[in-house]
Structure 1
């Protein structure tokens, strides 16, 4: 899998130099960079199978913790097998399983003891092996934080590292038996939401980081804004979150660019009773309205019913403003995704991740990702 190559550039380079020294001949290596497209999937629309060749990794969402064990219920197991069956269409496809998600608890408790960490790790590895999946994605939202309504502890920072160490050890042990490398990734936020994560300590344990560079503005933030913006808008205040700021935060913590997979959103977020200055951008609002998936944004909102599309050339992000109703919508579209793909290439990142597969049934945004990385 490409991620493994990207995770260990020093080892690869040392091996190449040794080979050159022994052979004394010049080796023309393929210098064309490769980027991964990683999609979270809560399900699968058969109409999307025609585009499965554009995806490198699908991550089934979600397995859950039950009595400290990582488990799939019957419906989850069926959903995972549906994704695994897609390997007949794309033999290169990797299918991982994500455990957790927003408001999914049990992590702090499981990670708090050596026995709990071992049970988590062993049950996860056994589940992957039994299901013939390819890796585990840990989506603890978030260590040391309880905004999602889950239990947290000041010890989460240390325990999260210990948990990932236990998982990596269990995955390697079962992988040796199965004759494969089970990947380990995390779904991880940025800014203040990683105050409970020791990024340098977990970095060597992971194949890659899925940066959740979306939901920067939501029902819990004081203003509207770009919920998945690439760069800092002139209107953003202070240390407001952006994709580039997230990337720089992880790079500064010592993560190599090739292990960073930034996020795209296949949905928008709408705010109501918005202050009209700057066409609603980064303004206070009365209440959060709802999330809207890409197909409905196209059919009912973009330049329709009074919603006018605007483009922030600095942030490289679109938004909709309805001057009559004072409604504001933030979202990703093919133009903002193209900007993210160019950014991935410029920064030599590992690729793009998106939430989530069924929100774009015609794969229009997936196609924009593919074209942006391969044209």
Structure 2
């Protein structure tokens, strides 16, 4: 073989080697991306959003890549049909849908009802005809706004809630409307070849479960968001931790003791597969003033009616300005604030307590985490959930 031919052969060999390496790198990149996408579908991070505000997402829309689902809250019920809650809803939902350009895995849902607008649920699902009317309206709403699913936030079937109409029949009618919506979604999927989500928000109490048939209802649901917060607040006779992961030993003898762990156990016992259960986290805290100083205000009878709530970003701002002093309860795995000068006790979640909750979700093999609401965060909590649930 001549020197020229040897040189050409060597160049061809090098070229083939470089092309093979490039393909290998490309294949590895595709493989890594596939793993990431699979991970995102296995664990859910669900953000409740009550408005569209571009400043909430940041200039690079970083948080759009830190969540898997957006539940836009809330749609209302009028005349037995789902309707926009505000005149600006169409614009806001459209803007939220645009975030799919940033995160193609992101899914958007409309949440119906909530504490304020659950009053018409019982009437809307009372009869076969009314359920047909309501279910058809959910499908029209889904198609109109080009969203991925429906989240029913009925607070609460068979219970008064915010002074709502309620009936013993709500228990069975709730299951019936879920079955009907699922049937209509499946029919729509056959036409569009798209998949649609049906989810609910549940009360974190045995009372809620006693007034619903979750063992049957869960069959029609993709996942179930437990509102594991507001265990106590301005309506309570005693202070406490409003979103504690575990119950304090001093409280465990009381029948009314509540915790996220207890709520999850109750839901599993009610017949819900653990992989469908999503743990709720509050991005706000609840406070009381004029609280007795024993145990830094924890578990004390409330003196007077001075109470309220702060968003998480307000709490962190006050901590930075030394207006608050933070403490930690290692039994409940929760932070709290005690301010002696005005006897203020404040219960909330922070990055540390959320790490315990994400670990809990992973250990129990639950479906993921949802939070109320995105607007309350300064970016820290969303990032903590994303990092601990989907990355670590």
Normalised TM-score (structure 2): 0.84
Q: Distance in 2 between matches of 1:371 and 1:84?
A: 24
- 8 Å CA contact retained: 1:42, 1:62: yes
Q: Kindly tell me: are residues 329 and 88 of structure 1, through their superposed partners in 2, closer, same or farther at Cα, counting changes over 3 Å?
A: same
- Cα shift at 1:302: 6.9
Q: Kindly tell me: are residues 36 and 338 of structure 1, through their superposed partners in 2, closer, same or farther at Cα, counting changes over 3 Å?
A: same
Match of residue 98, structure 2, among 85, 102, 125? 85
Match of residue 273, structure 2, among 256, 259, 264? 256
Is 1:98 matched with 2:111?
A: yes
Deviations 1:302-344 (A, max 9, x none): 7833x32111111111111112211110001000101101101
Partner residue in 1 for 2:248: 233
1:140-179 equivalent positions in 2, closer than 5 A: 140-179=154-193
1:113-124 equivalent positions in 2, closer than 5 A: 113-124=127-138
Q: Distance in 1 between matches of 2:161 and 2:137?
A: 27
Match of residue 125, structure 1, among 139, 142, 152? 139
Q: Kindly tell me: are residues 288 and 100 of structure 1, through their superposed partners in 2, closer, same or farther at Cα, counting changes over 3 Å?
A: farther
Partner residue in 2 for 1:323: 340
Partner residue in 1 for 2:229: 214
- 8 Å CA contact retained: 1:129, 1:174: no
Is 1:71 matched with 2:88?
A: no
Match of residue 337, structure 1, among 336, 354, 361? 354
Partner residue in 1 for 2:62: 50
Q: Distance in 1 between matches of 2:218 and 2:258?
A: 22
Give the aligned length.
344
Q: Kindly tell me: are residues 225 and 128 of structure 1, through their superposed partners in 2, closer, same or farther at Cα, counting changes over 3 Å?
A: same
Cα RMSD of the aligned pairs, angstroms, is 1.7
- 8 Å CA contact retained: 1:266, 1:359: yes
Partner residue in 2 for 1:11: none
Deviations 1:52-89 (A, max 9, x none): 11110001111110101011253111111111111011
**Secondary structure in 1 matching 2:88:** helix
- Cα shift at 1:295: 1.1
Is 1:62 matched with 2:86?
A: no
- Cα shift at 1:194: 3.0
Is 1:366 matched with 2:382?
A: yes
Partner residue in 1 for 2:312: 294
- 8 Å CA contact retained: 1:103, 1:150: no
- Cα shift at 1:288: 4.5
Q: Distance in 2 between matches of 1:335 and 1:243?
A: 16
Normalised TM-score (structure 1): 0.88
- 8 Å CA contact retained: 1:126, 1:174: no
**Secondary structure in 1 matching 2:187:** helix
**Secondary structure in 1 matching 2:370:** strand
- 8 Å CA contact retained: 2:209, 2:270: no
**Secondary structure in 2 matching 1:369:** helix
- 8 Å CA contact retained: 1:263, 1:354: yes
Q: Distance in 1 between matches of 2:171 and 2:290?
A: 39
Q: Distance in 2 between matches of 1:355 and 1:290?
A: 16
Instruction: Indicate the structure with greater helix content.
Output: 2
Shifted more, 180-189 versus 163-172: the winner is: 163-172
- 8 Å CA contact retained: 1:302, 1:309: no
- Cα shift at 1:260: 0.6
Q: Distance in 1 between matches of 2:93 and 2:250?
A: 42
> Which 4+ residue blocks in structure 1 deviate beyond 3 angstroms?
none
- Cα shift at 1:229: 0.7
**Secondary structure in 1 matching 2:89:** helix
Is 1:181 matched with 2:195?
A: yes
Task: Tell me which structure has the larger Cα radius of gyration.
Answer: 2
Q: Distance in 1 between matches of 2:275 and 2:135?
A: 26
